[in-house]
Amino acid sequence: MGVGDAVKWGFLSTANINDKLLPGAEASPDVELVAVASRDLGRAEAYARERGIEHAYGSYEDLLADPKIEAVYISLPNSMHVEWSIQALEAGKHVLCEKPLSRHPEDVERAFDAAEKAGRILMEAFMYRHNPQTKRLKELVEGGAIGRLRLVRAAFSFPLDDAANVRLNDELEGGGLMDVGCYCISGSRLLAGEPESVYGEQVAAPSGVDELTRGAVAVTRQNAINHAYIRPLAFFGYGPIDIKPKQACAVTVFIATRELGTFLGEKALRNGARVTISSWRKFHHSAMPTMAKASGHYANSVLAAHEALDRGYDDAILLNQDGTVSSATGENVFFVRDGQLCTNDETSSIVPGITRDTILQLAREAGVPTSVKAFTREELMRADEIFLTGTAAEVTPVCEIDGAEYRTGKDTLGARLQRAYLAAVTGKDPRHHDWLTWV
């Protein structure tokens, strides 16, 4: 390869994604696509013939042995990325490998060690990182155009109904995170830098990959429900009666959906809920993981909710053992005082709900001063207004706590945030379409 000569490329596989590269390759004077390989020679020949590629090979090894080929694009399944990247590097080829290169750091290190030893370039195919818009975005963020970066929220999804798709094959390292989810991680790292700590949670489907979003979309679509409450439930299935079920009981998942009414009633949603402080205390996060939505946890909420009904109230708020406020029976608690929005966090043994997170984001966008910290019953009772948030409750105002009355109505901050929330989750606010999964 001389200076100014086009680089001669080969495709390792006949994957559909290859066709996304062909127009750019054909338009570039620096690229010459000369070969394609498949484990099936007939498939490689048909692929090459249809796309005007000069050479077709019936094995990946044969393509790598071709001395005319200087670089390869690897679009094989995820589980084969590192293996064939290393083989291509050792054969003297530069490598552009589809993302993600691997989920195992030690394998990534091996691949880049092989590139260094061979004196060749290895690159992961995150195309967006080379887009001028991405470069400009990074410059703006680093230059303080949006102020101090405090939060990156990323979402990337699409419906996938083909059960035979390689993205749903655990043995080939499929799954949402290993497909489009890696873009979210890459983008977050690009803008915010490397993380100091990482927390992740997955409930794998029978295929072994993270299919729950796909299942939730399918169930909702098949039941033709417009305003649905979706409840995925993972549990230990049939096996011995034991307190160590993971030893012998497989994890089973089902997804239920039903029409969602108003959690505390239409009257409460419009005019405010009447709430009492329960005599039952919230269990501490050191006793059980309060961040998890576990079925057994709701016994605590049921006791408090029944007590509220017996007292003539719509709902109850539970305190922690130290007297600070935890949450309502199925909702997070917000209050407003002197124009400042206040709520608590995981240290108060709450479930950090997605509705809570949405309200905090909408408040930040509206420039509302916000405080997130533990607060006492006394601080709550001195509030100007109070509202509750949750998947079922959405944003419900509170008009009374044990006889003390609070502001409600369309001019309150809670009502403004309620309108913004409803606009976002119903698709009426185009700024937040990326929050939605379209059914």
Active site residues per annotation:
99
In 3D space, the residue among 439, 415, 416, 417 whose CA is nearest the CA of residue 427 turns out to be 439
* Helices 132-142 and 182-192, axial angle in degrees (round to 10): 40
DSSP state of 376: B
**Amino acid at the residue 387:** F
- Please measure the distance between the N-terminal and C-terminal CA atoms of the chain and give it in whole angstroms: 50
Q: β-strand 94-97 against 71-74: which pairing, if any?
A: parallel
Residue 393 in contact with residue 330, Cβ under 8 Å?
A: yes
Q: Is 176 helix (H, G, I), strand (E, B) or coil?
A: coil
Q: What is the DSSP string of 110-126?
A: HHHHHHHHHT--EEE--
Cα–Cα distance for residue pair 183/193, rounded to 1 Å: 14
The two structure tokens encoding residue 344: 């608590």
Hey, what are 230's tokens?
Answer: 């979706």
Q: Which two tokens stand for residue 164?
A: 């035979």
CB 280 within 8 A of CB 304: yes
Going by the DSSP 8-state scheme, the letter that residue 59 receives in this structure is S
Largest CA distance in the chain: 86
Is residue 426 within 8 A of residue 411, CB to CB? The reply is no
What distance in Å separates the CA atoms of residue 303 and residue 89, rounded to the nearest whole number?
A: 64
Is the Cα torsion angle 358, 361, 366, 372 positive or negative in sign?
Answer: positive
DSSP 35: E
Residue 8: Cβ within 10 Å count: 19
127 DSSP 8-state letter: G
DSSP 3-state percent helix, strand, coil across the chain (nearest 5): 40, 20, 40
How is residue 412 written in tokens?
């309150």
- Ramachandran region, residue 272 (left: φ > 0; alpha: ψ -120 to 50; beta: rest): left
Burial class (CB in 10 A: 0-12, 13-18, 19+), 377: middle
d(CA 316, CA 302): 10
